[in-house]
Structures are given as structure tokens and as C-alpha cells.
Structure 1
Amino acid sequence: MDLLSIKDPSFLKGMSNQELEVLSQEIRQFLIEKLSVTGGHIGPNLGVVELTIALHKCFDSPKDKFIWDVGHQSYVHKILTGRACEFDTLRKYKGLCGFPKRIESEHDVWETGHSSTSLSAAMGMVIARDLKKESSFVVPIIGDGALTGGMALEALNHIGHEKKNMIVILNDNEMSIAPNVGALHNILGQLRTAGKYQWVKDELELLLKKVPAVGGKLAATAERVKDSLKYLFVSGMFFEEMGFTYLGPVDGHDFEALFENFRYAKKTEGPVLLHVITKKGKGFHPAESDKKGTWHGTGPYKMDTGDFVKSDKSPPAWSSLVSETVRKLARDDERIVAITPAMPVGSKLEGFASEFPERMFDVGIAEQHAATVAAGLATQNMKPFLAIYSTFLQRAYDQVVHDICRQNLNVFIGIDRAGLVGADGETHQGVFDIAFLRHVPNIVLMMPKDENEGQHMVYTAMTYDDGPIAMRFPRGNGLGVPMDESYKTIPIGTWEILRDGEDAAILTFGTTIPMAIEAAETLEKQGISVKVVNARFIKPLDEKMLNELFLNNIPILTIEEAVLQGGFGSYVLEYAHEKGYYQQAIDRMGIPDKFIEHGDVESLLEEIGMTTSEVVKRMTILARKKQQRA
């Protein structure tokens, strides 16, 4: 069938199972072809083709509400709801979003990007439905990896207590981004091999109905027998004990099995959990055979071989530079321990895990837990390295404040994907970490200009003994600069002059330094001498250098690839006010007060006015103001 002609999922109602099988293969081929060009979350989507088709056939979206937990697996849903014609623009600037997006379609009822939110959102929708006396099904689809998130467990507890009608689909593919870990993962493993539980339960209830009702004592005894037999026949009753009717496990690629269980679930009172087993990457061998999580989300690739399209001459990835430096330092310091919340592949910690398996801890999708585990380690004179994306660090804010910083513990936080990340868009842009960290007492926050300075910062962090220290670094690769053979400590709170000048100064760090240098060179041709400062320590500020600039009445422009509100520029303004430099000319460039959508980073920066030409324009105005005052 022509997938580009699909307007809504109603056409599925009249299709036979055989026709649905053909449609499944067509959708898989479509995804493999389109994502080979655009990149995207290929593995998760290939795994939910039949499940998504079955949901749209058996339910009535948007009246019935599907809530995709992380949103990585919503591509099939987008195709069936009329967006196949937009897939050439997937994750591109002004194009189709890679996650559910409410403004895209009435079928997208919840926006996601961070895991473990679907059950709580579904509970809110169910409560609203019942208060308004409406009739509809609310169906959150959550992965086995996301189920380990504390918020998901909080929601299970509440849903099981309230006993409201809800159908939870547990999409179990034994993977989140990387292979799943933990006790709950092991419980699901037992359920996968336990056989069809609902058959056992029904057989037990039929057996008990044959027992004559001759009194309360016998009835109570029968109920105890029923419970005992359930435990005998089924390895793990976790969800039943939480108040759910458990159905499954079901083959998530078998339409008839899915239809049968959906029919049963729709007739069941109270919350239902349908355990569906799927194969991540199904239908594309490189993704299907992936055991590490490499094919969870990718850039462009070659369809015939599965090889990724990238330059072999690229400098090392920032994640690799940081994790490998930590690994080298761990050889001489047995106190160094690495912790990641389900991101060993993304954080490039496979090498560390291979060499020091007893000192590597993947705690699953549990950022709060990861932060406090690091704090606990630090109380025992260990040196924990917490590898975490900027966007995911938001989820552990209280633990960083309360457990790490308040106790002034020696935890090194590696803030990966800091700044704009591009294609993943609003939910993943790492632009808030400066604003939510710099006001917290005790923490040191820094960002290197290149990978050579980056390795020295890692060394500085791992040898720092005066409290928590965090280093933010961008997505992607380094600049390819020469690397020093030995490490050195960078004095805390010191900046570096990269280019001298007398008329004005740019204070910036990390990814925006090249733009500042280029602008300064342009201004030099116009007769304006600009000092460019690598303000590598965002907190604490280099007060000595700042005071010199203020005393000489040098106009200042701060630039940061982070939000302006509460950011580095705000810190410089606050310091000027605190020291009484009320007439000091200070301008700021950064991310405005809005969420930045998906697209290539260059286009996004252009849109918000973070360009070399804008720097030149602002610096010219600042320099003229100084000349006028002189």
C-alpha cells in the first residue's frame, strides 16, 4: 500500500491479518530506507511495528489515548496517523519531530523525551476522564527499561491503589538504550519464561468454582490454595501484588495474540498490565543482532551493509575523551568508580567497564539514584565519576543539591551533551545546567575550550578534594588539537586570555570560542581591538581578571550556549553589581527564554542570533560606547 497516502488509522479496521503482515513489512522497509538518510531511532521503531498496528486497529485514537513513554518508538504511530509524507524531514530543522508532538497531530496526546513519565500522565488523564464521566481507553506504552525509573514505580503504586480502568502495555525487549540491568529486569526475565500466565489463572478459578460453598472457613482455605498455586505456576507475581491484572507474556509480533489480549484487557475492570515481548530492531539484521545499544539511535547508515556514514578521520568524541581519561587515571587510583544511569554506550564507558568491571555501575534509568550512590561512595573516600547527559541531570537536581553539594562531597559530574544537541530537540537540548547548578553552594563548574584542555580538566576534577566539581562538554567530536602526553592541574577559578585587546572583551567558553575568535579578527580589521577570554571556570569566576577589566572600564560581552536567565552572563552582572561597578558596560549572548526545537545546530544558532556577525555588531556598539565615554 502507499504509506504516503495514509491520512488516519481508520483503514486498519477492515484489514485481515494477512494484509496486516504485508503492511508491517512495508512499514519496516520504509523506516529502514528513510532512516538510512536522516538517522533516527531505528531499533525501537522496528520492534513495535505489529504492536502499533494492533493498537490502532483495536482502539480508536485520538478518543482512546496512546502515551508513548520515551517517544523513541513513535515513528510507526506517526506513519499510521498521516505523517509518512514528512519523513524526509525527520529531526531536521523545521521538519518532523523525532518524538510525539502535540502540535503535529491530535493523535499525539503527550510529549515525551525523558523516560518513565507515561504512567503518571496516563493516571492524570484517567482521573480527568472519570471526573468528566467520559468513556475512553487510556493506554500508556512503557518499556522494560523505563519501568526501572522511580517515577514509574511511584505511578504503579498509585494506579494499583486507585483501581481505575487503564491498560498498561509493557513493551519488553530486554533493552532500553543499552541492555537493561537490575532486579526488576530479572523479574521480567522470569515472567518471559513462565508461560502464559492468564491461562493458569483462569484454570485455577475454574477449579475453585467446583469447590462447594459450605462456609467461610472453606472459602478462605480455597483462596489461600489459589494464591499458593499462582506462586507455584508463575515465577513472579510483582504486578498482581501491585493491584494489576497481569496478562501475558504475549508475542508482540503475533497479531492474533495481540488482538485476543486486547479484547480481554478491554473487558477487565481495574488496571491491566499486558506484558508484550518484542524484538528491538526486528527486520533489519544489524539492528536486530545489536547487543550493546549501538542501533538504538543512529546517524545515516548504508542499508546494504549497516555501516554508519561518517568520516574515519574525525577527532575523538568528547564522551570518549572524558571516559578514557578517567579510565587511565583509574589505573593508578583504585578509589575511582564510574556510574551511569543506563548510558554506558552513549557515555563511552565500555572500555572502563571492560578493564574495571568491579568499579563500573550501570544503575539503569534512575538518575536520582545514580547521583546519591555517587554521594554515598564519596563519603567513604572513593572518587566517583558520574557520567550523565545534561538533559538527564535535570532529573537528579534535588540529589545534586541535597546529597552531593550540601554535604560538600568529592563527586565528579561529567555533564555530557551540554549545549545544543540538534536533532533530538527540545527535550534533549543541554542548555539549563549552568542556570540550575551555578547558584548551588560548594560546586565548581567548568567547560574546556578543546580536548587537550578537557583531559587536564578531567585530571583536575579527579584530583580535587574540596567538594563537588562538574565539567560540561558538548555532543560530537573534539577539534583535533595536539594532546599533551602528561596531565596537569588547572588552578580552580582561573581564566585564560586567548587573544589580547584593549577596546572591549569577550568572555566565553567551550563551543562558542571559535566564534568569538573569528569576530575579534573581523573587528581588528575595523580598528577595534578585542580581548578574547577563555572563561573556562563558570563557577567560581576569575575575580582577579574581572576586576582588572572593570577597573580599566573595558566593555564586556559574555557568550554562552546555554540559557541567559541565571547563566554565566547573569553571574558576571551580579558580580559587577556586588562590587559596585554600576556603570560597567556588559552585554550578554545566549539561549533566549524559550525551548529550542530540533534541527541542525548551525541553523538553530542562526535562528536565535548566536552568530559571528551578531558578535561583531554587538562588540562594535560596546566599543563605540567606550570611545564616547572617553
Structure 2
Amino acid sequence: MEIKPGPLLQHINSPADLKALGKEQLHQVCDELRQYIIDVVSVHGGHFAASLGVVELTTALHYVYNTPYDQLVWDVGHQAYGHKILTGRRDNFASNRKYGGLSGFPKRTESEYDTFGVGHSSTSISAALGMAIAARYKGEDRKSVAVIGDGSMTAGMAFEAMNHAGVADSDMLIILNDNCMSIDPNVGALREYLTDITTSPTYNKLKDDIWKALGKLPVGKNFSREIASKMEHSIKGMVTKSSNLFEALKIRYFGPIDGHNITKLVDTLQDLKNIPGPKILHVITVKGKGYELAEKDQTKWHAPGLFDKITGEIYKKKFDLPQPPKYQDVFGHTLLEMAETNDRIFGITPAMPSGSSLKIMMDKMPDRAIDVGICEQHAVTVSAGLATQGMKVFCNIYSSFMQRAYDQVVHDVAIQKLPVVFCLDRAGLVGEDGPTHHGAYDIPYFRCIPNMIVSAPMNESELRNLMYTAQLESTTLPFVIRYPRGEGVMPEWKTELKELEIGRGRKLKDGEEIAVLSFGHPGNFAASAIREVKQYGINAGHYDMRFVKPIDEEMLHEVFRKYNKVITVEDGTVVGGFGSAVLEFMARHNYHAQVKILGIPDRIVEHGTLKELHRECGYDLNAIADTLKDMMKEKVKVSILQ
């Protein structure tokens, strides 16, 4: 199905084409750009509501600034679809998030207009400040603009960057895209502060009026602005108590302005280009703007999948038989089930209550299930604080986001032996979100920390049992449970909760000559592969290790005494991960065997469907079966001859 852009948009192949239009034509450009995003995403999928909310802002930025010489940094990348379309990627936009196609986020290797790669939040101000400092050092007149929104301002890194920007004497503009949302609704005092500014615009109106009036005085422009600045500071305390947070950091504050008024945006940005130093423009937008259903339910329409753009029906796969639930939903329901009988259980998430399914408990127990905003470091340490008071805290963070709180895990949890339970959602490859979101590294970076328990379930029942074990009073160390994005394998998943022996795996199948050791969900791929190669006379053993730390040494002794060929399978990096732990054991105990490690290779893996990426990385069913046949090729030859 060919999707055609509107009559103006079809001729915009770069910002230069956009600048050739009259300002009065920009309204039509915005309408066509918004419709094109709706048309493409409804058919091909992707993030949705965030980019609709910044159509006018995106158009105004590329109309006013000399991109890519002037450097535009997006935060988070969910907002950047319009940016991609206006910067030469319109005709390829349908490949967005598909295997071999455009990235769903800004990516430096994809376009010179993508000045900084982003997938996680709250990095834009730091990056743009670095660019601005470099421009000043090199004597260049290029501008640096950071667009921060979708809740990213709540993260500590954004405040660290602003604290530096206020004294760095660099020419940069921070645009706060304030839509009161991340993926779920924003939380915290900053949200209330911004709401206060938005609903109490008296100060800002007076400030704008003064600047405009003094700009008309028959004196030097700089002198007029100096008077305006002094008067602005004089009226600040009289009019509002909410106008000084950013300016206390020595960042000039402008706004709030309507982020859907393209004319106002263009005029404002043109004025701000001529004001030196660090500035912040507060822009009010509506996430999902222009698509009524997305405006009403912004969380649901953040990334809805394929849908009928006319009726709003979101297409769901239909199955004749009951299907397994998502691991995240098993986590959410199991946590609530346990919290109903254990009043010391708390749930913590940094801004992902829906994505992690902590919202299931949050709806029933809002005082014990807490969204702390986009601030993973704080999420870990507040969990540690709760743990010092005897609480059993389940801190649910996506694996790739967990990287952002590594020091807190070591300093605040592991060293103090606090029994925080880290539930790492989206561990392993995540699919279309790509390299910024793949949970590839958590096994090595947790395995090297003393006092940690590191586990992974092969199925939903195992996830429930690991969670149950982690919350017992007898479990006194930090406990990591990692599980993948998407569905498990058990339609009848609500099994009896049982305590597991920490550091103990389970033998699923005896074999001859060769064994497969699996860690986590890929054990299901291994089980299928083992069944498939039986036709070649291969009788492989299978061990679900459950724990990589402490690893089941008794089981490993059994494996290396019995088998001289071993395959390890994991959905983490092969460098320093589960397979490496097995090799370390083998070397330490002077065993000799042929070992093949399957997992995520030592390179950046791009985006695609999970099946495509599992195949590419060589640990899907077929890859495991091929490895078994290759290591047992003599037996395969005999089987074929017979």
C-alpha cells in the first residue's frame, strides 16, 4: 500500500525546501506532516502520540534554525518522527523500526541531522551543552538546541546539566516540551511546579510585554534589553512564586507558549536566536495532538501497534487457543498476589508502571506501589532505604535502563547487603526499539558484583517461584530476576508458588555425549532444538541453570564428568555472561571439554523483530539445532547413511 504525502510535504526533501516556503504555508505543512505520520504508523507501526505532539515545534525549529549546522538534539527519541520526515527520510519512513530500515530513534550514522543518538531519556541538555562549549571554543556561530520532553526533565541528569549550563557561558537553547506525560502520566513536584507556571502566566505576559515595549524605544537594543532584564527581576517576586527555578540556575526562562501555534513558535524562536547565553523555552503541547483517541488516552497510544486510522481499532492477533501471557503481566499479577499476604512488599518503578505492569498493584495498593519518575538512580536508592526498614522491595526497571543506576546498585545495595529485588524487564533483545533498549549486558555487570543473586526464569511458573523465593525472610541478599519482553510459554501460568533453592538448577533431560546448558527463556529454544535433532540420532542432555550467581557447581560437576561437548545458551552478551561463567568453572576445576557459547555477539545489534534478531545472533531454535549437529557431525553422518 503506497502512502502519499500531501502536496507541500511531498516536495520537502530537506529543511532548505521547508525554508523556501512562506510562513503562511507552514500551517498546511504541519497538517500534512501530522497526517503522514498517522497514515504510516497506522499501517506500519511505531511510536505514535509523542511525535504528533511536536509537529509544529519540529517544523518551526527546522524553519528557523540552520540545521544541520545548527545542532538539534532530541530527548527522548520518541518525538523525532517529524524530524526524520523533514530531513530527507520521508520516502523511506515506512521502514521505520523494521529490520534493515530506519531506526525508531535519532541515530548519528543514519543522518547528519541526527546530531546525537538517543533512546534513553534526559541526555539532551548535557549533549547540547557539550556542543555549545565546543562551538564557542572553535569560534563558530552555530546554535545548539535541546528539545527535552515526555517526562525527561524529571531525571537528575537534566538538572545536573542545567546546573552546569547556567555557568558555562555557552549559547544554547533548551526547549521544554511540556505535555504532562512520559509514557504514563508524569509524577512528582516538578510536574506540579510546571503546572503552576502554566496556569499562572501573569508574570510571563508582563515580561513579554515589557520586552516588546522596550524594543521599540529609540535607544540601543542592548541597552533596552538590559533595562528589560532589570525590570523583569523586579516584578518577579510580586507576580508569581513559580518563575525562579530555572533562573536561579542562571538560565533565562521564556514562556509558557502554545506549542501548536506555528506562527508564535517561529516568531519566538527567531527572537531567541538573537539572545546570547543559556535559555529555556517552555512549550505547552498535547501528546497525540490531531488524533482524538490519542489525545484522550495518551498512554495507550504511545505505541499502539497497527490500527485502523478511521475507527481507531487497534489490531490484535486472534487465536483459537489460549495464549501465554506477557512476562511483565505475570510479574504484575504475582506481585499483587504476594503483597496481599505479605504487608512488607513494596513495588518501585522509574516511570514505567504500565510497561512493567506494576500498575496492577498500583491500582489496588497505591501506597505500596510507587512510580518515582524517570530517575533510575533514585529508584534504586529509595528501594535501598525502604529495605533498611525491613521492607521487601521489588524494584522493576528495564534491563537497559538499569545501566543508568549501576553505582547505586554497588554502593547503596550490594555493599550494604540490602535485600532489594531487582526485576529486570526487557532483558535480552527487545526487537524494534533497537540497540539503545536491548538488555544485553546485565548478566556480566551484575555477575561481577559481590553479594548479588542473579537469576532468570525459563517460563512463567519459574518467574513466580523466583519472585516468591526473593520475598522470603530467609533471602537476605540483593536478588536479580531477569526476564524478556513479550510472551512466555504457559497459557495456564498461575501455578502454586514454591520456594526454590538459591543457586540450584534443574536437570530437564539426560543425554549422551553432548549437553545444553540454558539460562532463562532461551531454554525453550534449546528444548525444541533438542527434540528436533533426535531424528539424527543425537540424544542431548538439557540443564536449566536458573542461577548464574551463585551458579550450581554441583550440577556443573555432573555435566563435565558426563559430557565432553557442551553448548551454553543465553539471551545476554557472550562476553562475561553465563557461558563465560561456565568456562570459568571448567578452567578452575581443570575439566576439558568442547564448549560453544551461544548468545548476543560482541557487537551492537540493530533493530528488527525478535525472531529476526534471535536468528541473526545465532541462538534461536535453528541455530541451536545447527550447533548440535555440527558438534555431533559424525553421528549425523551415520544417521544419514542409515
Shorter-chain TM band: over 0.9
One-letter amino acid matched to 1:269: P
- Indicate the SS of the match to 2:83: helix
Residue 586 in 1 paired to residue 586 in 2? Answer: no
Paired residues of 1:451 and 1:481 also in contact (CA < 8 A): no
Q: Distance in 2 between matches of 1:67 and 1:406?
A: 37
CA apart distance, 1:172: 0.6
Deviation at 1:366, TM superposition (A): 0.3
Check whether the contact 2:72–2:115 (CA below 8 A) recurs between aligned residues.
yes
- SS of structure 2 residue aligned to 1:511: coil
2:465 aligned residue: 456
> How big is the shift at 1:428?
0.4
- Alignment of 1:466 with 2:476, yes or no, is yes
Q: 40-49 or 475-484: which moved more?
A: 475-484
Q: Which residue of 1 aligns with 2:152?
A: 146
Distance in 1 of aligned mates of 2:230 and 2:69: 41
Shift of 1:479: 1.6
Match for residue 103 of structure 1 among 105, 109, 116: 109
Does the 8 Å contact 1:452/1:481 carry over to 2?
A: no
Paired with 1:574 and 1:496, the residues of 2 have a C-alpha distance of 20
Measure, in 2, the Cα distance between the counterparts of 1:176 and 1:119: 17
Q: 1:82 to 1:277 in 2, by over 3 A?
A: same
Structure 2 counterparts to residues 301-380 of structure 1, below 5 A: 301-311=307-317, 313-380=322-389
Query: How far 1:523 moved relative to its partner?
Result: 2.7
Cα distance between partner residues in 1 of 2:609 and 2:121: 24
Aligned: 1:426 with 2:432? no
1:38–1:91 Cα contact (<8 Å) kept: no
Asked if 1:271 corresponds to 2:266, the answer is: no
Partner of 1:238: 245
8 Å contact kept, 1:562–1:590: yes
How far residue 133 of structure 1 moved from its aligned partner, in angstroms, is: 0.5
Determine the C-alpha separation between the residues in 1 that align with 2:93 and 2:400: 25
Secondary structure at the aligned position of 2:470 is classed as helix
Q: Which amino acid aligns with 1:569?
A: G
The answer for the alignment partner of 1:69 in structure 2 is 75
Distance 1:478 1:31 in 2: 32
Asked if the contact 1:411–1:469 (Cα under 8 Å) also holds between the matched residues in 2, the reply is: yes
Shift of 1:306: 2.1
Task: State the Cα distance separating 1:614 from its structure 2 match.
Answer: 3.2
Partner residue of 1:288? 295
CA displacement at 1:245 relative to structure 2: 1.1
Verify: 1:86 aligned to 2:124, yes or no. no
Unpaired runs of 5+ in structure 1? 210-221
Query: Are the counterparts in 2 of residues 375 and 409 from structure 1 also a CA contact under 8 Å?
Result: yes
Aligned to 2:51: 45
Q: Secondary structure at the match of 1:510?
A: coil
1:480-499 equivalent positions in 2, closer than 5 A: 480-483=490-493, 485-499=495-509
| Residues 13 and 90 in structure 2, CA contact (< 8 A), matched pair in contact too | no
Residue of structure 2 in register with 1:414 after alignment? 423
Deviation of 1:277 (Å):
0.5
Separation (CA, whole Å) in 2 of partners of 1:446 and 1:344: 22
Q: CA deviation at 1:608?
A: 2.5
Give 1:469 deviation, angstroms. 0.6
Following the alignment from structure 1 to structure 2, what is the Cα–Cα distance between the partners of residues 547 and 432? Answer: 27
The alignment partner of 1:357 has SS state of coil
State the alpha-carbon separation in 2 of the partners of residues 149 and 332 from structure 1: 34
- Whether contact under 8 Å (2:454, 2:547) holds in the other structure is yes
Per-residue CA deviations over 1:292-345 (Å, capped at 9, x if unaligned) read: x22112211221232321135542221111011011111111111110100011
Counterpart-to-counterpart distance in 1, 2:461 and 2:287: 38
Contact 2:469 2:475 in 1 (8 A): no
Tell me how far apart the structure 1 counterparts of residues 323 and 310 of structure 2 sit (CA, whole Å): 23
Q: Determine which of 201, 204, 210 is the counterpart of 2:207.
A: 201
1:619 to 625, 628, 632: 628
Contact 1:141–1:171, Cα closer than 8 Å, also in 2: yes
SS at match of 1:191: helix
2:324–2:492 Cα contact (<8 Å) kept: no
2:566/2:594 contact within 8 Å kept: yes
User: What's the TM-score once normalised by structure 2's chain length?
Assistant: 0.91
Contact (CA 8 Å) 2:75, 2:123: kept in 1 or not? yes
Is the 1:198–1:248 contact (alpha carbons within 8 Å) kept by the matching residues of 2?
yes
Deviation larger for 32-41 or 2-11: 2-11
Report Cα offsets for 1:11-42 as digits up to 9, x if no partner.
22243344211221111111111111222111
Alignment partner of 1:16 is 2:22: yes
Question: What is the alpha-carbon distance in structure 1 between the residues aligned to residue 133 and residue 70 of structure 2?
Answer: 14
Distance 1:483 1:610, change over 3 A: closer
Deviation at 1:542, TM superposition (A): 1.1
Contact kept in structure 2, 1:138 and 1:167, CA below 8 Å: yes
Of the three residues 415, 435, 454, the one matched with 2:444 is 435
SS at match of 1:79: helix
For 2:470, the aligned partner's letter is A
Taking structure 1 as reference, are residues 197 and 11 closer, same or farther at Cα in structure 2, changes over 3 Å only? farther
CA distance in 2, matches of 1:185, 1:617: 54
- Conservation of the 8 A alpha-carbon contact between 1:592 and 1:608: yes
- Secondary structure of 1:129's aligned partner: helix
How far off is 1:434 after superposition? 0.5
Shift of 1:624: 6.3
8 Å contact from structure 2 (residues 50, 150) kept in 1: no
1:538 aligned to which of 539, 548, 571: 548
Q: Deviations over 1:280-303 (max 9, x none)?
A: 000111111115x22112211221
Aligned length: 613
Deviations 1:251-298 (A, max 9, x none): 01112211221122112121110111111000111111115x221122
Select 1:478's aligned residue among 474, 483, 488. Answer: 488
Q: What is the identity, as a one-letter code, of the residue corresponding to 1:422?
A: G
Shift of residue 472, structure 1, vs aligned partner: 0.7
Counterpart Cα distance in 1 of 2:354 and 2:210: 45
Residue aligned with 1:250, SS: strand
Contact preservation (8 Å) 1:197, 1:247 = no
In the other structure, the counterpart of 2:395 is 386
Q: Deviations over 1:112-138 (max 9, x none)?
A: 001111111111111111111011111
5+ residue gaps in structure 2?
A: 1-6, 216-227, 637-642
Matches of residues 152-191 of structure 1 in structure 2 within 5 Å? 152-191=158-197
| SS of equivalent residue, structure 2 residue 294 | helix
Structure 1 residues 597 and 558: alpha-carbon distance in aligned structure 2, compared to 1, 3 A threshold = same
- Paired with 1:197 and 1:361, the residues of 2 have a C-alpha distance of 34
The match for 1:503 among 508, 513, 523 is: 513
Give the RMSD, CA atoms, in angstroms: 2.2
Counterpart residue number, 2:608: 599
- Distance across 1 between alignment mates of 2:301 and 2:209: 42
Give the stretch that moved more between structures: 124-133 or 516-525: 516-525
Of 249, 252, 256, 2:256 maps to 249
Structure 2 distance, partners of 1:208, 1:172, is 29
> What corresponds to 1:262 in structure 2?
269
| 8 A Cα contact 1:508 1:534, kept in partner | yes
Please report how far the alpha carbon of residue 547 of structure 1 lies from its aligned counterpart in structure 2 after TM superposition: 0.5
8 Å CA contact retained: 1:554, 1:626: no
